[in-house]
Structure 1
Amino acid sequence: MPRLPRLNMPGVAQHVVQRGNNRQATFFGDEDYVLYLDKLKEYGKKYQVAIHAYVLMTNHVHLLVTPSTNDGVSKLMQSLGRYYVRYVNQTYNRTGTLWEGRFKSTLVDSEHYFLLVSRYIELNPVAADMVNHPVEYPWSSYHGNAEDKKIALLTPHASYLELGTSQKKRKAAYRELFKHHIPDYTIKEIQDATSKAWVLGNDRFKAQIEKQTGRRASPLPRGGDRKSKGYRENKVL
């Protein structure tokens, strides 16, 4: 099956995932995480991409971002990836590729999925049995979105701002969300949409994206599109 083109739309949030080659480690010490976040901030500003949530795992990265231009996310990830690979190769006297290839991404229906994806990202260390609660993991946006740490690279999304009329109330409401389990089917929905370049959203949002981009936002039902003329003509009776 040919690889689907990425969907990029200014003003629409994206969930971005980049993994280490063969799922090998991409971060080796605290200084690596610090440098990556510093460059994420730099290139996010340069290419007008707002960063809302992130987690840096040992061998992969999750980001929740909103670009202001069609190619902002691609330019951000390309520049960040190239810089970080050079840094790692020089620092650890290694050669060759570090990342798995092109990053994965999906458009996110902010009204229905933004806060779910944000929680999913920050819960990654818990899902990996690295910590019992996201507050225990130092390399995620949880400390800025839910706690008192000031993280300069973060830009609050409208969905986050709607949680309360003050920063204190928003953080408290956001922490409260983590008391509720994300259903397994929702986690799978997020993972499938991101890995397969489908759109993460309700039917109305998907239809809107299809109309604007001319590309399908979700896979065809198994057995083909039963509404299509081609399916009816080729159906074996």
Structure 2
Amino acid sequence: MARQPRLAVTGLPHLVLWQGHNRQPVFFDDDDRQAFLALLTDAAAREGAALHGYALLRDAVWLLLTPQRDGALPRLMQAVGRAYVRRFNQRHGRSGTLWEGRYRGTVVAPSELLAALVWLDGEPVRAGLAPAPEGWPWSSHRHYVGLAPQRGLQAPAVWWALGDTPFAREAAYRRRVHDGLPPAHAQRLRDAAVKGWPVGDAAFLAQLQAQTGRRTQPARPGRPRKSPSSDDSSVPK
């Protein structure tokens, strides 16, 4: 079956996954991570993308961002990927590819944006990198709970709506991340990013399909059902 074209829709949030080739490490130390973040934030500003969140893992990168210009997302990923691989290979005396290939990602409905950010900021804990989200300095979590403001991050409107003061917003967001998402909701976000299916309610998916001309849900398994007119039993013998 042909691969569905990857969605990149201007003005909508995207949850993006970039994995190391054969799950090899893409960061060896904090210098690597700092260099990647610098390239990412500069490219986001240059290409026109609002970076909402990120999590740098050992062998993967998760991003949550909104492209604000047509073509911003693929241009950003290409620019960061090439520049970082060149630096990484020079620094560590290696050659060849670093990334798995195509980055994976999905469009997220605005109503799912806060859930996606909560899920992303909990990913380092699930990966075993820290006992709590605030213990991993290489994600956006510390920015949103007031521990370490970070250049280049743009809080989405749903985060601003969590409270009337910075303290109230930070406390509310901390509770959201601590509570986490229901397992089925969390799995749906991960699967959607890996497989490329958008996340949202039926109305959002229908509108997105009409806008892009691309299927927004997997086809049902099995052969297509025949219409009555194509059923041989309806043809007189």
TM-score range, shorter chain: over 0.9
Contact 1:224 1:231 in 2 (8 A): no
Distance in structure 2 (CA, Å) of the matches to 1:225 and 1:61? 38
Q: CA deviation at 1:25?
A: 0.3
Q: 2:72 — aligned with what?
A: 72
Distance in structure 2 (CA, Å) of the matches to 1:125 and 1:64? 15
Distance in structure 2 (CA, Å) of the matches to 1:188 and 1:233? 41
Q: Secondary structure at the match of 1:79?
A: helix
How many residues align? The count is 233
- Which amino acid in 2 is paired with 1:7? L
Q: 1:59 — aligned with what?
A: 59
Q: 1:104 — aligned with what?
A: 104
Distance in structure 2 (CA, Å) of the matches to 1:234 and 1:184? 43
Distance in structure 1 (CA, Å) of the matches to 2:167 and 2:157? 16
Normalising by structure 2, we get a TM-score of 0.93
Distance in structure 2 (CA, Å) of the matches to 1:155 and 1:214? 30
Q: CA deviation at 1:94?
A: 0.3
Distance in structure 2 (CA, Å) of the matches to 1:55 and 1:199? 20
Q: CA deviation at 1:232?
A: 5.9
Deviations 1:120-139 (A, max 9, x none): 11111111222221000110
Cα distance, 1:41–1:214 mapped onto 2, change above 3 Å: same
Contact 2:16 2:62 in 1 (8 A): yes
Gaps of 5+ in 1: none
Distance in structure 2 (CA, Å) of the matches to 1:17 and 1:65? 11
Q: 1:157 — aligned with what?
A: 156
1:20 aligns with 2:3: no
Q: 1:49 — aligned with what?
A: 49
- Which amino acid in 1 is paired with 2:43? Y
1:84 aligns with 2:71: no
Q: CA deviation at 1:200?
A: 0.8
Measured on the aligned residues, the alpha-carbon RMSD in Å equals 1.8
Q: CA deviation at 1:181?
A: 3.4
- Which amino acid in 1 is paired with 2:167? K
Cα distance, 1:158–1:236 mapped onto 2, change above 3 Å: farther
Distance in structure 1 (CA, Å) of the matches to 2:228 and 2:174? 51
Fraction of identical pairs, as percent: 35
Q: 1:29 — aligned with what?
A: 29
Q: CA deviation at 1:195?
A: 1.3
- Which amino acid in 1 is paired with 2:41? K
Q: Secondary structure at the match of 2:50?
A: strand
Cα distance, 1:219–1:169 mapped onto 2, change above 3 Å: same
Cα distance, 1:159–1:91 mapped onto 2, change above 3 Å: same
- Which amino acid in 1 is paired with 2:162? L
Gaps of 5+ in 2: none
Q: 2:216 — aligned with what?
A: 217
Contact 2:122 2:180 in 1 (8 A): no
Cα distance, 1:225–1:36 mapped onto 2, change above 3 Å: same
Q: 2:195 — aligned with what?
A: 196
